[in-house]
Structure 1
Amino acid sequence: MSQSDLMIPESASGISFVGHSDVNGLGDTCQVMIANGHAYVGHVFSGGVSVIDVRNPRDPRTVNFLPTPPNTWSIHLQTHGDLMLVINEFDFYSQYQEESDYYGRSINETGGRNFAAGIRVFDISTPARPREIGFMPVDGKGVHRIWWDGGRYAYASIMPWGFTDHIFGVIDLINPERPVEVGRWWVPGMWTAGGETPTWTNRWALHHPVVANNIAYCGWRDGGLILLDVSDPTKPTLVSHLNWSPPFGGGTHSGLPLPDRGLCIVPDEAIADNIEDGLKHTWVVDVSVPTNPVTISTLPTPADRDFVAKGGHFGPHNVHENRIGSFQSSNLIFSTYQNAGVRVFDISNQFQPAEVAHFVPPAPTQWNDYRPNRPRVVHSVDVYVAQDGLMYVTEGAGGGLTILQYDGI
Structure 2
Amino acid sequence: MIKEDMYKESRAGAFPEADGHGCISSHVKRIGHQDTPGGAQLVYQDGYLFVGHISPPAGTSIFDVRDPRNPSLAATIELPDSQSHSHKVMVHGDLMIVNSQRHRRKFFRKSEALDSVEARLALEFGRRPTEKEIAQALNVKPEDIDTLRAELENGYTNGGFRIYDISNPARPRALSFQPTGGMGAHGFDFDGQYAYVSTEMDGFRGNI
The TM-score, its normalising length taken from structure 1, stands at 0.33
CA distance in 2, matches of 1:33, 1:122: 15
CA distance in 2, matches of 1:51, 1:12: 25
- Tell me the equivalent position of 2:80: 69
Deviation at 1:115, TM superposition (A): 4.8
Name which one, 1 or 2, has greater alpha-carbon Rg: 2
Task: Tell me: CA distance 1:115–1:43, structure 2 relative to 1, closer, same or farther (3 Å).
Answer: farther
Question: Could you report, residue by residue, the CA deviation over 1:364-406 in whole angstroms, capped at 9, with x for unpaired residues?
Answer: xxxxxxxxxxxxxxxxxxxxxxxxxxxxxxxxxxxxxxxxxxx
Deviation at 1:119, TM superposition (A): 1.1
Name which of 18, 23, 27 aligns with 1:14: 27
Partner-residue secondary structure (3-state), 2:186: strand
The TM-score, its normalising length taken from structure 2, stands at 0.62
CA distance in 1, matches of 2:179, 2:95: 18
CA distance in 1, matches of 2:202, 2:107: 17
Task: Tell me: CA distance 1:139–1:94, structure 2 relative to 1, closer, same or farther (3 Å).
Answer: closer
CA distance in 2, matches of 1:158, 1:93: 13
> After the TM superposition, which residues 265-276 of structure 1 pair with which residues of structure 2 at under 5 Å, given as runs?
none
Does 1:158 pair with 2:199?
yes
For 1:112, the aligned partner's letter is N
Does 1:49 pair with 2:67?
no
Q: Would the aligned equivalents of 1:122 and 1:131 in 2 still touch at CA under 8 Å?
A: yes
Task: Tell me: CA distance 1:35–1:160, structure 2 relative to 1, closer, same or farther (3 Å).
Answer: same
- Identify, as 1 or 2, the structure richer in helix: 2
Q: Would the aligned equivalents of 1:72 and 1:115 in 2 still touch at CA under 8 Å?
A: no
Partner-residue secondary structure (3-state), 2:184: strand
- Tell me the equivalent position of 2:187: 145
- When the two chains are superposed, the root-mean-square deviation of aligned CA atoms in Å is 2.9
For 1:146, the aligned partner's letter is F
Task: Tell me: CA distance 1:61–1:90, structure 2 relative to 1, closer, same or farther (3 Å).
Answer: same
CA distance in 2, matches of 1:17, 1:135: 37
For 1:41, the aligned partner's letter is V
Segments of 5+ residues of structure 2 without an aligned counterpart are: 1-18, 109-137, 140-150
Task: Tell me: CA distance 1:56–1:45, structure 2 relative to 1, closer, same or farther (3 Å).
Answer: same
Task: Tell me: CA distance 1:42–1:111, structure 2 relative to 1, closer, same or farther (3 Å).
Answer: farther
Partner-residue secondary structure (3-state), 1:143: coil
Segments of 5+ residues of structure 1 without an aligned counterpart are: 102-108, 168-184, 187-409
> After the TM superposition, which residues 9-408 of structure 1 pair with which residues of structure 2 at under 5 Å, given as runs?
9=23, 11-23=24-36, 26=37, 28-47=38-57, 48-70=59-81, 71-92=83-104, 95=107, 112-150=154-192, 152-160=193-201, 167=206, 185-186=207-208
Q: Would the aligned equivalents of 2:157 and 2:181 in 1 still touch at CA under 8 Å?
A: no
- Identify, as 1 or 2, the structure richer in strand: 1
Partner-residue secondary structure (3-state), 1:17: coil
CA distance in 2, matches of 1:143, 1:93: 11
Deviation at 1:53, TM superposition (A): 1.1
Q: Would the aligned equivalents of 1:74 and 1:86 in 2 still touch at CA under 8 Å?
A: yes
Task: Tell me: CA distance 1:116–1:144, structure 2 relative to 1, closer, same or farther (3 Å).
Answer: same
Q: Would the aligned equivalents of 1:144 and 1:158 in 2 still touch at CA under 8 Å?
A: yes
